[in-house]
Amino acid sequence: MAFELPKLDYAYDALEPYIDAKTMEIHHSKHHGGYTGKLNNAIMGTELEGKPIEEILKNVSRYTAIVRNNGGGYYNHSLFWKVLTQHGGGLPKGDLLEAINKSFGSFKKFKTEFSNTAVNLFGSGWVWLIKSSGDLKITSTPNQDNPLMDVADKKGTPILALDVWEHAYYLNYQNRRSDYISAFWNIINWDEVARRYL
């Protein structure tokens, strides 16, 4: 079964003014669509065909750069769209908020650390909130790598992701990555993040 570009749970313009419709359309249909197609082409007729994406990523060092880059791009974006919503923002609740407070001292400290990690990530990549050995941690990865990969510095299960590639924000924010990061907090789907945490 080939990987398919996932449909969004919202329209391209639903996240405005935080992420504009044109960026969403290009990002989803062209970038994510491109990763999906190239991943399928790379694994067609190989032992990887039909395997879940998580299984491919956990041993990604065994495979080609094409599989690593496009497999990561496929998985990362599939998660990213799910943790965004037009009814987002505010604070998480329940067990997730408790875990954030325990791991970082407060939600405010978590938000500051996550934002600073995103601002200071050199070049293209991702910032993650991961569940690792029962704790929550913030980490970043270059390019389309992620914490499921055996090549990651910090490994764990991603529950929140922020794409800081320029294609994620440049049409609207140009070089103002910090403004894009600030906008992100208004559209986080905390219910989805909490579901992934449990």
Percentage of residues in the chain having pLDDT higher than 70: 99
- Domain 20-198: CATH superfamily is Iron/manganese superoxide dismutase, C-terminal domain (3.55.40.20)
In the 8-state DSSP scheme, what is residue 163? Answer: E
In the 8-state DSSP scheme, what is residue 80? Answer: H
- The model's pLDDT over 17-39, given as tens digits with 9 standing for 90+, comes to 999 999 999 999 999 999 999 99
- The model's pLDDT over 92-133, given as tens digits with 9 standing for 90+, comes to 999 999 999 999 999 999 999 999 999 999 999 999 999 998
Helix 94-104 vs helix 190-197: angle between axes, to the nearest 10 degrees? 80
> Which pLDDT value is given to residue 5?
98
CA gap 41, 155 in Å, rounded = 27
CA gap 112, 125 in Å, rounded = 18
- The model's pLDDT over 58-81, given as tens digits with 9 standing for 90+, comes to 999 999 999 999 999 999 999 999
User: Percentages helix, strand, coil for the chain, rounded to the nearest 5?
Assistant: 50, 15, 40
> Which pLDDT value is given to residue 169?
96
The structure's pTM equals: 0.96
> Which pLDDT value is given to residue 134?
85
Number of H helices, E strands in the chain: 9, 3
